[in-house]
Amino acid sequence: MVTGAGRGARTPAPAVPGLRVAIDGPGSSGKSSVGMAVASALGLRFVDTGLLYRALTWLAVRREVALDDGPAVAALAPDVELAPDPAGRLSRVRVDGHDVTRSVRAAAVDRGVSEVARQPAVRTALVAVQRRLAADAGIVMVGRDIGTVVLPDADLKVYLDASAAERARRRAVERGLDPDGSETAAIRADLERRDAVDSGRAIAPLRPADDAVVLVTDGMSFEEVVGRVVHLAEEKHAAGGSAVLDGRTTA
């Protein structure tokens, strides 16, 4: 897996250099948009690790690899590339030189990605990629197991949650649907199904790290959530939370 970390990035000088922020939570809890806004406020790099699982799923479907054949799907990892968008965030997915960022959000990927994400060989391959991305500079990394597995020594761990009803409502509004309509009920059912697979899998299940700050965002505006996370990061920074800042080495 080649990644474009740092290449072509136009990220401003970080306000909190070296800080590593892990944001986990269930689907449609707002992790990605919150993480992106936090990274931009703090001048840190941003990676949404769900993109990696989605990209592998998309590629496996395209190459007709069985989604439950973990080693075969994991073997596709080197063909997927995360690339920077104009703001320097690794929010683009490229395969064989083509930008497939839109395709990885397709319904077929939504349906298959939990199956791919529960394969041990896939997780091993992608955890290594994610750790490399976080190795040498500050970052906001978003996913399901960032605080528990990928970056257990992250400076700040946030677990963003919201009720299934609220998450389905937000997703429906994003898609221009009636939040009280039958499509929203279907979205909610699909979210609950994926939550159950993600939380119930044997390896790296979705759960808050013991030292995560859990934010339940029902009734909070987007700006409030971003403000809370930025504030928490600044507190960590002020307390010398970053290993890079204070020269401590971490395990």
Instruction: Please say which residue, 201 or 236, places its beta carbon nearer to ligand DC.
Output: 201
Instruction: Please say which residue, 20 or 54, places its beta carbon nearer to ligand DC.
Output: 54
DSSP E strands: which ranges in the chain?
A: 2-3, 20-24, 45-48, 80-83, 92-95, 98-99, 139-143, 156-161, 213-216
**Shortest distance, CB of residue 12 to ligand DC, whole angstroms?**
26
Instruction: Please say which residue, 3 or 114, places its beta carbon nearer to ligand DC.
Output: 114
Under a CB-based contact definition with an 8 Å cutoff, are residues 218 and 170 in contact? Answer: no
Instruction: Kindly report the backbone phi and psi dihedral angles of residue 28, in degrees, each rounded to the nearest multiple of 5, phi listed first.
Output: 60, 25
**Shortest distance, CB of residue 187 to ligand DC, whole angstroms?**
13
**Shortest distance, CB of residue 222 to ligand DC, whole angstroms?**
17
**Shortest distance, CB of residue 238 to ligand DC, whole angstroms?**
28
Residues whose CB is less than 8 angstroms from the CB of residue 248 and which lie 6 or more positions away in sequence, other chains included: none
Tallying the residues shown for the chain, one arrives at: 251
**Two tokens, residue 101:** 């960022």
**Shortest distance, CB of residue 85 to ligand DC, whole angstroms?**
16
Positions in the binding site for ligand DC (CB under 6 A)? 27, 49-50, 53-54, 113-114, 117, 143-146, 194, 198
Instruction: Please say which residue, 49 or 184, places its beta carbon nearer to ligand DC.
Output: 49
> Cβ of 192: how many Cβ atoms within 10 Å?
14
Instruction: Please say which residue, 38 or 117, places its beta carbon nearer to ligand DC.
Output: 117
Q: How far is CA 134 from CA 47, 48, 202, in A?
A: 9, 12, 25
